[in-house]
Amino acid sequence: MPTLTRAEAAERASLVDVDSYHVDLDLTGDGATFRARTVARFRARPGAATFVEFEPVAIASITLNGRPVPHEAVAGGRLALSGLAEENELVTDATMGYSNNGEGLHRYTDPADGSVYLYQHLFINNGGRVLPCFDQPDLKASFRVSVTAPADWTVATNGRLVSRDGGRWEFAPTERISTYLASLIAGPWHVRTDEHDGIPLALYIRATLAEHLDQQAAEIFEVTRQCLDRFHEMFEIRYPFGHYQQAFAPEFNFGAMEYPGLVVFRDEFVPRSTITETEREHRASVIAHEMAHQWFGDLVTMAWWDDLWLNESFAEYLGSRVAAEATRFTGTWTTFAIQRKAWGLRADQRPSTHPVAPAEVADTDEALMNFDGISYAKGASVLKQLVAWLGDEAFRAGVNAHFAEHAYGNATLADLLRALSAAGGRDLSGWAEVWLRRAQVNTLRLEVRRDGDVYREVTVVQTAPDGFPTLRPHRIGIGLYDQADGAVTRRALIEAELDATGRTVLPELTGVRAADLLLLNDGDLAYGKIRLDPDSAAAVPLLLPLLTDSLARAVIWASVLDAVVDGERPVAELVALVLAALPVETETVIVEDVLRATRGLVDRYATAETRPAALELIAQAADRLLAVSPAGGSRQLVAARGLIGASIDTARLRGWLAGDGVPEGLVVDADLRWLIVYRLAVLGAAGLEVIEAELAGDRTASGEQWAVRCRAALPDPETKAAAWAAIVGDASLSNRLAELTAHGFWHAEQAELLAPYVERYFADMPEMLLIRSGMSAEKTAIAAYPAVLVSDRTRELAAALLARPELHPLLRRVVQDHDDDMRRALLARGLS
């Protein structure tokens, strides 16, 4: 795909104003290609020359204002246009190619029944794979779509269906939207419909998952209705795109995408097996996130990708907020504290860190790489604090004024700040400079001086890392927690405004009786790395199991995990805390995230000598939780998954597969069976015959995905060689299967076998980028990184690759960030 620079986009926007596209697709072809006839109407500066993105397989005809355009005008993914008139009509008839990487028009064959499904994903610069278009966010247009498809297919787009005659579908023109937001699905979809407040609703899924959607549709529709109602309470402009449809598509690169009128989710959001309440909560938050985009991103769209935060930070913030306010999932801010914010903090400390709102994003390649924890979670954290500082009424007034001024158009950071400043009566330029324009994170620590059992002086100390010296204003809570009658509860909450001097004394605590636990960032309002005072930190193992507030527990766990990542505390101390506190943890998301994070840290931070004992303690913690969890509940399932992932008791795992010794209430369904097979494969206790037997009983898309991951995990030289060849050289492998093969490849248990592949990564990964692109390439490069083979030699190989000036920027960022992770791991091993 061609890369579009910001300079090119600015120049083209100065020349062109797009009116409409009429796209007529014939999807009845041979399976490798489809036919696309497009009429694009636009205004231009008379006599100007420009280009549209266009990547045809073959061209039947091109005309501009009735005159033929030579086919040679198409080169490098662009169609050059010259001699433009004031009013222009570009007509093309071309053969286009389907993709298997989640970009353009993705074609998928369901292994369960052989049915074909298509979905369109033009993000971030893939519009030219389907139609010739001015593929940048500030050249909005109305899209009218016509489709000829097999007679038994269902087709849906952003626009309202006008008519259907057999396999011929006609859709109404859309409102003005950016090219990357044009959506389409086609295939024998199973459909459920509903209506709410005058808005037609629909859900789409593959036929082989129909029963699962039917079981879950009531909950999905309920969450959708509740979120619509809440957004209508918050925003003065009602949902602006007619119908609200949600499709669950296979092999989708994102978790979901906010196409107006037809949101697309990865189909794992309609699971076939038992899931936890946390996973249901996550689905609700994502539904709210994508719905927020209908205003932040679709109604008002950023002018260029440097204002990506106007899309993703707001949707991330509102996804958690609206799910908590409107649905039964009221604990989303606990999830945000331990999971989402941690993602932002990790991203913000890596070499690839960037401001939430960079002053310059040079091109679409750079823009794609900024879809990370900074643009999502850090931005949302900053917004959460801004709303508290500005006041919710002023925040909503500013947002509504912003929508009113820029509806169906584009806007910038300056536009939004102007509206919020006017509504709140505060100049936000200084706030934006330090929070949005400058990268990296501050560390906040408590410095406590006591006179006996009372505080003489308590100070919040703020520091900044070398190279990023910015100190910032923070609004923060400090909770005083005491132990009594077998519980730890909050006695008082102090709220403080931290200035940028670096030291803020809390006079409210002078002379106050010292608490058993002094919790900095109680309520999780501040974005920063949190460190407890020494007395409180020492009390955590005793008090954490007795702490009644789940958000407070999440803040503590996040602080402990972060300190281990930074090498300030040894991983052995974390494992001991997991064994002490996690078996009595009642919040499922905390259990899930702590087990996941601890397992990852043990694999990388523990030495070969200490890792087996650490894994055994994790397994013990999960086993204890399993023993006390209610039968059939979410905690039981989370504990079982954690036990399987850490266990080396192959006899017990085989017994569960056979139905022996399974805890009462635990359902060993298809996906839990595969998780057990996967762990047995890693340990060398299940071979290809076991994997193929499991697949024979599960000839589904999920079964196929599990099987490729399990095969890659086998500690066998031949299967490792085959898996590696598939990762780096098999262009026929779909995006999802390539990623899962990479995910299954590396295991600390197999260090000796995998050692040769460390050098292979740095030698072969540049070639992988010749057959994969965009998000699929990035995900595969990340999953294939030898992160668990921690050594100075791995860092030396990384440095040699990074020294190559021609290295693709996507791979450069992946290697830089993972090398920094390995630097931390080597330092942490020095603590062991």
pLDDT-above-90 percentage for the chain: 98
Please indicate, yes or no, if residue 652 is contained in any of the structural domains. Answer: no
Q: 414: left (phi > 0), else alpha (psi -120 to 50), else beta?
A: alpha
Q: Give Cα 598 distance to the centre of its chain.
A: 20
Instruction: Give the pLDDT score at 164.
Output: 97
* CB 342 within 8 Å of CB 561: yes
Collapsing DSSP to helix, strand or coil, 327 comes out as: coil
pLDDT digits (tens, 9 = 90+) for 172-202: 999 999 999 999 999 999 999 999 999 999 9
* CB 183 within 8 Å of CB 191: no
Q: Which two tokens stand for residue 523?
A: 């309520």
Q: Please give the tally of structural domains in the chain.
A: 2
Q: What is the extent of the structural domain holding 832?
A: 748-832
* Residue 152: Cβ within 10 Å count: 10
Mean pLDDT of the region 401-426: 96
> Residue 688 burial (CB < 10 Å; 0-12/13-18/19+)?
middle
* Contacts of 469 by beta carbon, 8 Å cutoff, 6+ apart: none
Burial 70-97 (b: 16+ CB within 10 A, else e): eeebbeebbbbbeebeeebebbbebbbb
* CB 340 within 8 Å of CB 376: yes
pLDDT digits (tens, 9 = 90+) for 26-52: 999 888 999 999 999 999 999 999 999
* Contacts of 324 by beta carbon, 8 Å cutoff, 6+ apart: 330, 331, 332, 333
Please indicate, yes or no, if residue 37 is contained in any of the structural domains. Answer: yes
> Residue 216 burial (CB < 10 Å; 0-12/13-18/19+)?
buried
Please indicate, yes or no, if residue 144 is contained in any of the structural domains. Answer: yes
pLDDT at 470 over 80: yes
Q: What is the amino acid identity at position 94?
A: A
- The residue among 155, 174, 200 that closes a domain is 155
- Whole-angstrom CA distances from 578 to 24, 621, 679 are 58, 7, 21
The label of the residue with tokens 């407890």 reads: 532
Please indicate, yes or no, if residue 780 is contained in any of the structural domains. Answer: yes
- What is the spatial distance between Cα 287 and Cα 814, in angstroms, rounded to a whole number? 29
Collapsing DSSP to helix, strand or coil, 714 comes out as: coil
Please indicate, yes or no, if residue 810 is contained in any of the structural domains. Answer: yes
Beta bridge partners of 144: 22
Cα–Cα nearest to 491, from 501, 483, 482: 482
pLDDT digits (tens, 9 = 90+) for 614-637: 999 999 999 999 999 999 999 999
Instruction: Give the pLDDT score at 543.
Output: 97
CATH number for the domain spanning 141: value is 2.60.40.1730
683-688: which pairs have CB atoms within 8 A and are 24 or more residues apart? 683/648, 683/650, 683/749, 684/714, 684/715, 685/650, 685/653, 685/654, 686/710, 687/714, 687/716, 688/714, 688/719
* CB 670 within 8 Å of CB 275: no
- What is the spatial distance between Cα 280 and Cα 613, in angstroms, rounded to a whole number? 34
Q: What is the amino acid identity at position 7?
A: A
Mind spelling out the 3-state secondary structure of 522-537? CCCCCCCEEECCHHHH
- The residue among 113, 131, 155 that closes a domain is 155
Instruction: Give the pLDDT score at 293.
Output: 98
Strand intervals (E) in 485-520: 487-498, 503-505, 517-520
pLDDT at 831 over 90: no
Instruction: Give the pLDDT score at 31.
Output: 86
Q: Which two tokens stand for residue 68?
A: 């033929």
Strands 142-148 and 16-26: parallel
pLDDT digits (tens, 9 = 90+) for 523-561: 999 999 999 999 999 999 999 999 999 999 999 999 999
pLDDT at 340 over 70: yes
> Residue 360 burial (CB < 10 Å; 0-12/13-18/19+)?
exposed
Mean pLDDT of the region 196-220: 98
Give the active site residues: 290
pLDDT at 596 over 80: yes
Please indicate, yes or no, if residue 796 is contained in any of the structural domains. Answer: yes
pLDDT digits (tens, 9 = 90+) for 650-696: 999 999 999 999 999 999 999 999 999 999 999 999 999 999 999 99
The label of the residue with tokens 């489709």 reads: 147
Q: Please state, rounded to an integer, the average pLDDT across all residues of the chain.
A: 96
Cα–Cα nearest to 713, from 755, 734, 685: 685
Please indicate, yes or no, if residue 58 is contained in any of the structural domains. Answer: yes
Q: Which string of DSSP letters, residue by residue, matches 384-428?
A: HHHHHHH-HHHHHHHHHHHHHHHTTEEE-HHHHHHHHHHHHTS--
pLDDT at 389 over 90: no
Q: Which two tokens stand for residue 432?
A: 């934006």
238 DSSP assignment: P
pLDDT digits (tens, 9 = 90+) for 479-534: 999 999 999 999 999 999 998 899 999 999 999 999 999 999 999 999 999 999 99
**End-to-end Cα distance, the chain:** 47
Instruction: Give the pLDDT score at 29.
Output: 87
Collapsing DSSP to helix, strand or coil, 142 comes out as: strand
pLDDT at 832 over 60: no
* Phi, psi for 168 (deg, rounded to 5): -100, 125
* Phi, psi for 169 (deg, rounded to 5): -120, 135
* CB 773 within 8 Å of CB 2: no
pLDDT at 256 over 70: yes
Q: 747: left (phi > 0), else alpha (psi -120 to 50), else beta?
A: beta
* Contacts of 660 by beta carbon, 8 Å cutoff, 6+ apart: none
Return the H-helix or E-strand segment holding 657: helix 650-658
pLDDT digits (tens, 9 = 90+) for 128-173: 999 999 999 999 999 999 999 999 999 999 999 999 999 999 999 9
- What is the spatial distance between Cα 780 and Cα 640, in angstroms, rounded to a whole number? 28
pLDDT digits (tens, 9 = 90+) for 83-133: 999 999 999 999 999 999 999 999 999 999 999 999 999 999 999 999 999
Instruction: Give the pLDDT score at 1.
Output: 65
Strands 161-165 and 168-171: antiparallel
- What is the spatial distance between Cα 548 and Cα 688, in angstroms, rounded to a whole number? 47
* Residue 387: Cβ within 10 Å count: 17
Please indicate, yes or no, if residue 9 is contained in any of the structural domains. Answer: yes
* Phi, psi for 496 (deg, rounded to 5): -135, 150
* CB 497 within 8 Å of CB 488: no
* CB 248 within 8 Å of CB 265: yes
Collapsing DSSP to helix, strand or coil, 97 comes out as: strand
What band does 60 get if pLDDT is binned at 50, 70 and 90? Answer: very high
* CB 654 within 8 Å of CB 668: no
- What is the spatial distance between Cα 754 and Cα 262, in angstroms, rounded to a whole number? 44
Q: Which two tokens stand for residue 24?
A: 């007529």
Mean pLDDT of the region 205-219: 98
The label of the residue with tokens 């989370």 reads: 638
CA angle 578, 279, 331 (to 5 degrees): 75
- Whole-angstrom CA distances from 643 to 324, 335, 639, 654 are 30, 22, 6, 13
Collapsing DSSP to helix, strand or coil, 804 comes out as: coil
Strands 300-302 and 409-411: parallel
- What is the spatial distance between Cα 313 and Cα 28, in angstroms, rounded to a whole number? 40
Reported pTM: 0.96
pLDDT at 81 over 80: yes
* Contacts of 228 by beta carbon, 8 Å cutoff, 6+ apart: 196, 197, 199, 239, 244, 291
Burial 705-716 (b: 16+ CB within 10 A, else e): bbbbbbbbbbbb
- What is the spatial distance between Cα 123 and Cα 117, in angstroms, rounded to a whole number? 19
* Phi, psi for 479 (deg, rounded to 5): -100, 140
Mind spelling out the 3-state secondary structure of 551-596? HHHHHHHHHHHHHHHCCCCCHHHHHHHHHHHHHHCCCHHHHHHHHH
